């Protein structure tokens, strides 16, 4: 029986770091988000401070903001710190005049289709098991 051996060289050069930093940053951000979202002690702090109705809603909103920050802003900031010669527009985060009109048309068009579909689908009883996550009895303009 013959076995072939492939030499794999794992070197952390600048090219590999450009992939490694965002991936590991997002992974760490997801771990922070996941354990915060599942933490009963953090949830209890919100419930004790704001009451059941408002506390649960604020906890859900807090975890959503935390997820966006930990999986988006922190990895991007780490990348930009590690590679200061890179700009946000080079990462695809910017407005481009040549595609702005098409982007707006697609965004408005898809929203016009998706919002009624999601609204119709959300009324089905099987979706109410998990959604809405914010089960507030009273809604006000703040949340």
**Does residue 68 fall inside a structural domain?**
yes
Range of the domain at 76: 14-129
Confidence (pLDDT) at 16: 86
- pLDDT at 42 (0 to 100): 96
Q: Express the helix, strand and coil content of the chain in percent, nearest 5 each.
A: 70, 0, 30
Q: What is the mean pLDDT of residues 118-125?
A: 76
Inside any domain, residue 140: no
CA separation for the pair 63, 131 (Å, rounded): 16
Domain assignment present for 135: no
Average pLDDT over residues 47-53: 89
Q: Is residue 63, in this structure, part of any structural domain at all?
A: yes
**C-alpha to C-alpha distances, 136 to 26, 58, 143, nearest whole angstrom:** 31, 10, 10
Residue 44 lies in a domain: yes
In a domain, 123, yes or no: yes
**Total structural domains in the chain?**
1
Q: Is residue 138 in a domain?
A: no
Q: Using alpha carbons, select from 17, 9, 2, 11 the residue that is nearest to residue 81.
A: 17
Kindly report the pTM of this predicted structure. Answer: 0.69
Residue 57 inside a domain? The answer is: yes
The residue among 55 and 70 whose pLDDT is bigger is 70
With both helix axes pointing from N to C terminus, report the angle between 14-37 and 74-82 in degrees, rounded to the nearest 10. Answer: 160
Residues in the chain: 143
């Amino acid at each position: 029986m013959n076995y072939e051996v492939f030499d794999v060289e794992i070197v952390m050069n600048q090219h590999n770091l450009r992939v490694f930093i965002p991936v590991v940053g997002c992974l760490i951000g997801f771990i922070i988000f996941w354990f915060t979202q599942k933490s009963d002690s953090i949830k209890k702090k919100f419930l004790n401070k704001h009451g059941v109705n408002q506390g649960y809603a604020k906890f859900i909103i807090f975890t959503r903001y935390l997820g966006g920050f930990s999986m988006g802003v922190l990895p991007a900031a780490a990348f930009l710190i590690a590679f200061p010669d890179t700009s946000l527009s080079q990462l695809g985060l910017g407005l481009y005049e040549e595609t702005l009109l098409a982007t707006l048309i697609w965004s408005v068009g898809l929203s016009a289709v998706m919002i009624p579909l999601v609204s119709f689908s959300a009324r089905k009883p099987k979706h109410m098991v998990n959604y809405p996550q914010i089960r507030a009895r009273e809604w006000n303009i703040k949340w």
